[in-house]
Structure 1
Amino acid sequence: MNHSVGMIIETLVAILLVATIGYCMLLNMRLKRLKADEQSLKATIAELITATEIAERAIGGLKVTVRDCNENLGGRLTAAADITTALDKRLVAGEELLRRLSRIVAAGQVVKDIERSSSAASLAEAATAFADRKRTAVAA
């Protein structure tokens, strides 16, 4: 019986050793997968770091470009405002010149009408109208 009890214990120990070896093999496979996942995770992290550095450089370049555009556009806007002011002044001067020319043309029409009409009364009337227009021109 000693011999059979020893044999049972030896068999039980052998079965437990086989189960332990099987479990160790299973753990080994899982560890290999974990290591492989760790390597791919490290590669992904390295790619993310590289992409982040590239993006930071691109953002820096964009900031410089925006600053240059802002300075350039500011100068152009100032120049455009100056040109607009000058054009406004010239437009006002042109309108005044047009009014003067219109008055001169109207006075010339009166003179032509006077020349056509030989009566003294119409001549006096035209001279009065001309003098009135002249006074309004001087007052304006």
Structure 2
Amino acid sequence: MDWKVALDIVVSLLLIATIGYAVMLNSRLSALRKNRDDLAKTIINFNEATVRAESSIPKLRKAAEDAGHALQERVEKAQSLRDDLAFMIERADTMANRLENSVRSARTDGKASAPTAAVSAAPGPAPRGAAGRAAQQAAIAAAAAGAEQESDERSEAERELLRALQSMR
């Protein structure tokens, strides 16, 4: 064989290998282009989602602030009601103790009436100290004695109230 023919065979083999490599490279490039288009679509969708999220952040912040203010108002109202209820419970407990003491003293003393000055001191605010308490208890005892004389219905209601208060303790 001639060296020209051998050289032509080698060149043709190399050309066949190059053509095969070019075909493989072309298929990979087409797959990359397809993936690039998919990636571009994904990036566009991600960008749109980011824009929507950024636009909704102020709305969420305002909604959170409104909810916080409403919650704070409710907490303040609840604290006010709690304080009022605590005061009422304290006053009711004090009055129940006074009523119980007056009923006890009225039962032990009989149906004696108290001085008018002690009766006039009963409706006012609670005096401080042992002397004030004693005066109020005497006034309540007198009021209870007068109440027992008024009617049996009220007496029964007072007894039920005392039973309920005692069962609560």
Give your verdict on TM over 0.5. Answer: yes
Equivalent residues, number: 122
Query: Cα distance 1:114–1:48, how it changes in 2: closer, same or farther (>3 A)?
Result: same
Query: What does 1:67-106 correspond to in 2, within 5 Å?
Result: 67-106=58-97
Aligned partner letter, 2:126 = K
Aligned partner letter, 1:77 = G
Aligned partner letter, 1:62 = A
Pick 1 or 2: higher relative contact order, CA cutoff 8 A, min separation 6: 2
SS of 1:136's equivalent in the other structure is: coil
Displacement of 1:85? 0.9
Deviations 1:97-129 (A, max 9, x none): 121122222222233234321387xx69xx6xx
TM-score by length of 1: 0.71
Identity between Structure 1 and Structure 2 (%): 9
SS of 1:134's equivalent in the other structure is: coil
TM-score by length of 2: 0.61
- State the partner residue of 2:128: 136
Q: Which runs of 5+ in 2 are unaligned?
A: 133-169
Task: Tell which structure's C-alpha radius of gyration is larger.
Answer: 1
Check if 1:110 corresponds to 2:110.
Answer: no
Check if 1:54 corresponds to 2:49.
Answer: no
Q: Which runs of 5+ in 1 are unaligned?
A: 1-7
Say what the alpha-carbon RMSD is for the aligned residues. 2.9
Displacement of 1:51? 0.7
Deviations 1:13-69 (A, max 9, x none): 122112212211211111121122111111111111111111121222233344322
The one of 59, 64, 67 equivalent to 2:55 is: 64
